[in-house]
Amino acid sequence: MLLLCAREFFSLLASGDLDGERPPVSGEQRQGVPYNDSQIIMGNLHIGKSVLRKEGREKVTGRARYVDDIKLPGMIHGVTARSPMARGKIREIRFGSGIPWDEFTIVTAKDIPGKNCIALLIEDQPCLADSVVNHPEEAVVLLAHPDKYLLEEARRAVHFDIEPLPAVFTLEDSLAQTQIIWGEDNVFKTYQVEQGNIDSAWSSADFVVEGEYETGAQEQLYIEPQGMIAQASRSDGVTVWGSLQCPHYVHKALVRLFGLPKERVRVVQTETGGGFGGKEEYPSMIAGHAALLAWKSGKPVKMIYDRAEDMAATTKRHPSRTRHRTGVTRDGKLLAMEIDFTLDGGAYETLSPVVLSRGTIHAAGPYSCPNVRIRSRAVATNTPPQGAFRGFGAPQSVFALERHLDRVAEAIGISPEELRRRNFVREGATLSVGQVVQEKVQMGKLLDRALELSGYHEKRARFARENQNNVIKRGIGFASFLHGAGFTGSGEEYLASEASMRVSQEGKVQVLAGSTEMGQGTNTVFAQIAAEALKLDCEQIEILQPDTSLVPNSGPTVASRTTMIVGKLVETAALTIQKSLSDAGLIRSEYTQAEFQNACRQYIERFGELKALVKYQHPKDLHWDDQHYRGDAYGAYAWAVYVVEVSVDMRTAEVRVEDFVAVQEVGKVINPVLAAGQIEGGVAQGIGYALYENVVWQDGRMANGQMTNYIMPTTMDVPKIRVYFEELPYARGPAGAKGIGELPLDGTAPAIANAIASATGIDVKAIPLTPEKLMELLEKRHA
């Protein structure tokens, strides 16, 4: 499956014109280096420095241009009329009275020039529902008009006559097949991971501990809602500008939707006000809608969701259920881990198979266990499709595991830290999918440091003493975890990402990549990597705005892959440029900026052009078997231990996070301020995931789709997050860097749950643990 997905992802590649009279340059020479053959640029010009955010000045002055800040001549507005029902047959669409409908552009499924689908892994999701609807808020009719206010009235005047069909709203009902709503069995995808022989392992275990854990949906809640502007005509093709993470995903979807040749579709990313996965696949939908309206009206169309529509209609983190059965010896050695992991994918497949894959591979954590069986599946329900959200399946399965291990430790009577310590994977040991770890893993060291920095032992003892007499009880807990960077398994191989670089006569260096900046720091990190390799100032480096007509396909900006995978391509491109200049005898090993500029001018005068296109090459020693789901799942992992201190008011059941220590190893840190910012922001999202962010479902619809009653952490809810990095440079990452972005979402929630359990003695098994839910648990205990 994954193999197939990856091929599907393989999209338009920019042509590299490196032939001709120029000296031969190849950007591929550094990509296949053996693991220990360290060729890391151990630079100190820019790497490891908190270089200022490249687009920061525009952002702090309000001059940065987001999609809603852009106005095209003659532009009109577009809105979506959506299904009020979870599942049913569309009998009739009625356009109510009192609206001058002849002034409106009206689009239904019949107006789609190509295939009515959002092309992603498969093509099960329509762009506009035609005869049936499969979830509330499914788009059915599109309207455009110059007057925004009238447009909203018109949207409310579109009525649907829908014959209801029985629907499925929970993963339990979907598994029980109370109705078949997708395919033959409601199942999007299953995986099975087998290591050792679990069936014969149980008899040797001194203890067998079982548990079932649940996590809820979570809204990405980027502060800039989804938005897109489109211009489209038969003569000019389709162009969209918008808030998005993956320009080439949108490109692929529009090509299919319009049946146009690839070169007649253009996707441009505008400044993006947060994504977190929420702008990975959904922008293909809104881009399709805006473009259909533009195509029919002949005018540029702007489509901006308000918050309510964004929360109601777009993707969220998959709800999950995980069952653990763990066999362990008296002295705390893991013998058998049986894990059953289920995700609720919503009405269409979207990225569920890939989310499930990452969740499955992370389900057994950073531990060595000789016998493991993981069975997992993603199932359909009649809710809007769930989708990518930072962590991508791992936060769900890691929550279950790290909470479960605290319970295992309790069952056998050893400390939670000792249980982890006795089972941490080490260099040369094997992870559950059979990957022999090649990295110098330092989990024990990370654990020691995190416990020390947080004052864990002292606090645990003190809280145990003091809590007895206090109505506000304190607790401290932790989680240890890993997160694979880059696409899973053979994903990177099939993505075969590209990045390129070109240099002007004046020595100005342009980085051309499809990777997007959405706040996480792509622009700055790419500039640092390029400037370090070329020994230039960061200001000499320009990062081109992602535009599919100009930049190569660097793969999606997801999966903690941008710095590690695409950053490496940028570094290689820079070294290729340098080599071209050096081979032409224009620079020596050391040069000044002026000499570089001079060399570039001479090179371009002589050979016409100075550029390099680099394509990813999968390291030859990394193997993945898609059929048996075994092998080297990721090129590298980030490793971490997070310790949380909480207080619980036993009268109100309110939980406060009092202290947070996040210790991690993510390879070489390229920009300390940006890297710490990634961790802090991810931790805050994890705090919300654990304690506040409760999506209330009502017949498949989000009932609390407003910021007023879907609560994300404010300044009052987040302590100063203390972030520490251990730095072990990774030979295949640019300047030694690994991926970082998703990591903090994995361990935050279980660490909080463990701290609450430690404070209250309540066996936390589900998140979000809102005060209402905790109070129920406290009352149940007293009953």
Nearest distance, CB of residue 360 and other proteins, angstroms? 28
Q: Does 645 bind other proteins (CB under 8 A)?
A: no
Shortest CB 61 distance to other proteins, Å: 5
Minimum separation from the CB atom of position 673 to other proteins (A): 4
| Contact status: 63 vs other proteins (CB under 8 A) | yes
682 interacts with other proteins by CB under 8 A: yes
Task: Calculate the CA 705 to chain-centre distance.
Answer: 22
Q: Are 722 and 189 in contact, with CB atoms under 8 Å apart?
A: no
Tell me the window of 21-29, 109-117, 512-520, 535-543 that interacts with other proteins (CB under 8 A).
512-520
Residue 61 is a binding residue for other proteins (CB under 8 A): yes
Angstrom distance (rounded) from CA 286 to CA 663: 39
Nearer to other proteins, 126 or 227 (CB): 227
One of 4, 52, 464, 703 touching other proteins (CB under 8 A) = 52
| Among 78, 88, 681, 768, interactor with other proteins by CB under 8 A | 681
Give dist(CA 481, CA 730) in Å, integer.
Answer: 18
Instruction: Return the structure tokens found at 605.
Output: 């005068």
Out of 622, 676, 702, 752, point to the residue binding other proteins (CB under 8 A).
Answer: 676
Listed ranges 286-294, 381-389, 647-655, 671-679: which one lies at the site for other proteins (CB under 8 A): 671-679
Considering only 50, 177, 415, 598, the residue that binds other proteins (CB under 8 A) is 50
249's CB contacts (< 8 A; 6+ apart) are: 9, 120, 280, 281, 283, 284, 556
Q: How far is 391 from 744, CA to CA, in rounded Å?
A: 8
Give the residue among 120, 136, 307 at the shortest CA–CA distance from 220.
Answer: 307
Phi (first) and psi of residue 541, to 5 degrees: -100, 130
58 lies in the binding site for other proteins (CB under 8 A): yes
Burial of 531 (0-12, 13-18, 19+ CB in 10 A): buried
Round to whole Å and give the CA distance between 480 and 642: 7
With DSSP H G I counted as helix, E B as strand and the rest as coil, what are the percentages for the chain, rounded to 5? Answer: 30, 25, 45
Stretch of residues binding other proteins (CB under 8 A), selected from 365-373, 566-574, 615-623, 672-680 = 672-680
Determine, following the binding rule CB under 8 A, whether residue 103 of this chain makes contact with other proteins: no
Contact indicator for 251, 362 with CB cutoff of 8 Å = no
**Other C-beta atoms within 10 Å of 707: how many?**
14
DSSP state, residue 61:
H
Residue count, binding to other proteins (CB under 8 A): 57
Amino acid identity, residue 163? E
Residue 527 in contact with other proteins, rule: CB under 8 A: no
Nearer to other proteins, 425 or 684 (CB): 684
Query: Of the candidates 7, 65, 330, 440, which one interacts with other proteins according to CB under 8 A?
Result: 65
Q: Is 669 in the site for other proteins (CB under 8 A)?
A: no
* Residue in 269, 685, 760, 770 binding other proteins, rule: CB under 8 A: 685
Of 161, 212, 263, 306, the residue at the interface with other proteins (CB under 8 A) is: 306
- Choices 1-9, 270-278, 372-380, 769-777; region in contact with other proteins by CB under 8 A: 270-278
Nearest to 387 by CA among 511, 249, 256, 266: 249
Residues 115-154: x where in contact with other proteins by CB under 8 A, - otherwise, as a string: ----------------------------------------
The pair of three-digit structure tokens given for residue 118, joined into one six-digit string: 């959002």
Task: Tell which one of 44, 470, 652, 706 touches other proteins (CB under 8 A).
Answer: 706
* DSSP codes joined into one string, 695-726: PPEETTEETT-STTTS----TTT-PPEEEEEE
Instruction: Give the nearer residue to other proteins in terms of CB position, either 105 or 520.
Output: 520
Task: Give the binding site for other proteins (CB under 8 A).
Answer: 50, 52-53, 55-66, 68-69, 220-225, 271-276, 306-308, 518-521, 673-674, 676-677, 680-685, 706-708, 712-716, 718, 720-721
